[in-house]
Amino acid sequence: MIARWWRSNLEKLQLQLAKQDALFPLAVLGCAAGILSGLVIVAFRLLVEESQAALFPGGDSENFEALGWQARMLLPLAGGLILIAIFRWGGKGIYVLGVARVMERMAYHQGYLKLRGFLLQFFGAAAAIIGGFSVGREGPHVYLGAAGSSLMGQWLSLPNNTIRTLVGCGTAAGIAASFNTPLAGVIFALEVVMLEYTLASFIPVILAAASATLVSVAVFGNTPAFDVPSMSLSNLSGVFIILLLGVAAGGLSAGFIQLVQTIAHHARVLQHWQRLLLATLTASLFGLLLPQVMGIGYDSVDHALAGSIGMLLLALLVIGKLVATSACIGLGIPGGMIGPSLFIGAMLGSLVSHLSALAGFEVNHGLFALLGMGAMMGASLQAPLAALVAMMELTYSPGIIMPGMLVVVIASLTSSELFGKESLFITMLKASGMDYTSSPVHAALRRIGVAGVMNKSFVRSDAIIDKNQAAAVLKTRPVWILINGEESPAALLRAVDLASYVDREDEDEDENEDEDKRTIDLMGIPGRRLEIHAVHIRATLLEAREILDQSSLQALYVQRQTAPGIHHIYGILTREMIESAYQ
């Protein structure tokens, strides 16, 4: 009884979600995805932070500098060996993770993420961060949130357009739970991963970000990710320095992207375990020489915001973090790139402010460190709006908007237009041999499921029928007749063509012939017959159009397997219906 009720209501939900305007069920699913993602991210953070607290003096999870030089070298070696073992026996061809992997699965696989990738990201990123590799936690958070939400949608057999929305929900939840910045999470998900701003995607993504933030706050409290002092732009002379900072951040982000691209390209000739080993040795070297760049490095970011780091060390940290992170990411360490870009930006902004102070300008070191963070994030990830919103949420100050807009836009334009660089995520995908393209047409077709557009007015019929059977076929006034083949439907015929043929035969009937036994061949009568192919009810319109393009057909029948060897057909979808839905 319960199982029958569940199947019946689940099927109704699946059909409803295939449409663009299913806001209420999408909102409920968005909340569920946010809570699930929040719980996963809390578990990940507890694993990392409690492990580091047990290893480091005083329980400070970021204090790599307090470790002896032997420990700083051995910790990356231990983490690297764990990573090699995890991917050697568990990778099965999955080597690219993080935000880049989510984008690739959204572009070509309808947002389907695997449990194997989820586990690789969870334990692999934890080993990398605990081991002191120069990577961030936000990329793993995004992947874990997106994968958890995708797996939930797959378990419920939801339409593919809904699974894509759930991946966006998980992405927003990952960023929101990282910094307690729900709005930045929403903008990042829409700007980078989903590439769309529609009401049907906006509402569930907002609810997911808010839900994940509540889960994170319930466990870790409402403590901000960074200790941001009160700051404002004291005079207009600072605008000139902001412009210089934007250009410098744009140029540095272009160098960052180029270095990651170069390392990843040359590393393709190595086996994956060899890349991880090389990254491990690099991390150990930096642990010995410049321990401040180990791990996420948010303790150093707090010092930069307070203006308590000297200029020489700031310059070393900018270069060291850039090289260390490029090596880790380019060689395949499963960590994030958002945290390192914030670190580099904070050091760059603080360095620019110190140099400006030497030149006689009145500057706020914390303000320029924060502006550097936003500029570096916006330019490196090509997510200017997400970077601007993150700065505003971190400071709770609307006064940051004007200087933030200037520095983020200038940095982004410098990187993309002056140096011709794409985002770090797309660079990593292409360097790994995976292409990434997107277009407004594809985005529009991905938002709609085939069940939301299909025509349900059809009947099934054998190819050879008599006049009585023809009358029965036409009795319900269908639009389409699906002609049965030996194992599956063979062709599609407009019902009006059969009706016209029957009317003509009535006018020309032979009185000596038993008209009721006269046979009608639906494959032979005048009319337009369409060759037809199956498409699963969970598919999007983009998947349906790709099937039509590959097979040079004009129509599909929408089906789902209900039992082994038994398929239920829900409706008919033609190329004209797809084009009409998009237009």
Segment 117-126, tens digit of pLDDT: 999 999 999 9
Which residues face 561 on adjacent strands? 567
- The CATH architecture to which 2-225 belongs is Orthogonal Bundle (1.10)
Cβ atoms 498, 561 nearer than 8 A: no
What's at 274, amino acid-wise?
A: Q
Q: What is the signed CA dihedral for 249, 253, 259, 260, rounded to 10 degrees?
A: 150
Q: What is the signed CA dihedral for 78, 84, 86, 92, rounded to 10 degrees?
A: 170
Helix (H) or strand (E) holding 559: strand 555-563
Q: Tell me the C-alpha to C-alpha distance, in Å, between residue 190 and each of 170, 448, 500.
A: 11, 17, 51
Cβ burial of 219 (10 Å; 0-12, 13-18, 19+) is middle
pLDDT in tens, 231-253: 666 666 678 888 999 999 999 99
Which residues face 532 on adjacent strands? 555
Q: What is the pLDDT of residue 4?
A: 66
Cβ neighbours of residue 424 closer than 8 Å, sequence gap 6 or more: 100, 256, 257, 260, 329, 337, 341, 380, 381
Cβ atoms 527, 501 nearer than 8 A: yes
Cβ burial of 9 (10 Å; 0-12, 13-18, 19+) is exposed
2-225 and 237-431 agree in CATH topology: yes
Q: What is the pLDDT of residue 316?
A: 94
Q: Phi/psi at 373 (nearest 5 deg)?
A: -60, -50
Mapping DSSP onto H, E and C, the string for 151-203 reads HHHHHCCCCHHHHHHHHHHHHHHHHHHHHCCHHHHHHHHHHHHHCCCCHHHHH
Q: pTM, whole model, 2 decimals? A: 0.85
Q: What is the pLDDT of residue 229?
A: 66
| Closest among 106, 117, 125 to 193, alpha carbons compared | 106
**Measured distance CA(47)–CA(568) in Å, rounded:** 46
- The CATH architecture to which 448-507+515-582 belongs is Roll (3.10)
Here the contacts of 465-470 (C-beta below 8 Å, separation 24 or greater) are 465/519, 465/520, 465/522, 466/516, 466/517, 466/518, 466/519, 466/520, 467/502, 467/505, 467/515, 467/516, 467/517, 467/518, 467/520, 468/516, 470/498, 470/502, 470/520
Distance separating the N- and C-terminal Cα atoms of the chain: 43
Cβ atoms 307, 369 nearer than 8 A: yes
Which residues face 556 on adjacent strands? 533, 573
Delimit the domains of the chain by residue range: 2-225, 237-431, 448-507+515-582
Both structure tokens of 296: 């996420």
Q: Phi/psi at 551 (nearest 5 deg)?
A: -100, 0
Q: What is the pLDDT of residue 429?
A: 80
Q: What is the pLDDT of residue 512?
A: 47
Q: What is the CA radius of gyration of the chain?
A: 29
Q: What's the residue count for the chain?
A: 583
Cβ neighbours of residue 556 closer than 8 Å, sequence gap 6 or more: 450, 532, 533, 534, 535, 544, 547, 548, 572, 573, 574
Cα dihedral sign for 571, 575, 579, 582? positive
**Measured distance CA(358)–CA(360) in Å, rounded:** 5
**Measured distance CA(297)–CA(380) in Å, rounded:** 18
Fold category of 237-431 in CATH: Clc chloride channel (1.10.3080)
Q: What is the block-wise mean pLDDT of the chain (583 residues), using blocks of 10 residues?
A: 64 70 85 95 92 79 82 92 91 83 85 92 94 90 95 90 91 90 89 77 91 92 70 68 92 94 89 92 92 87 86 94 93 89 93 87 82 93 88 78 90 92 84 68 77 87 85 86 84 87 69 60 84 87 87 86 79 86 70
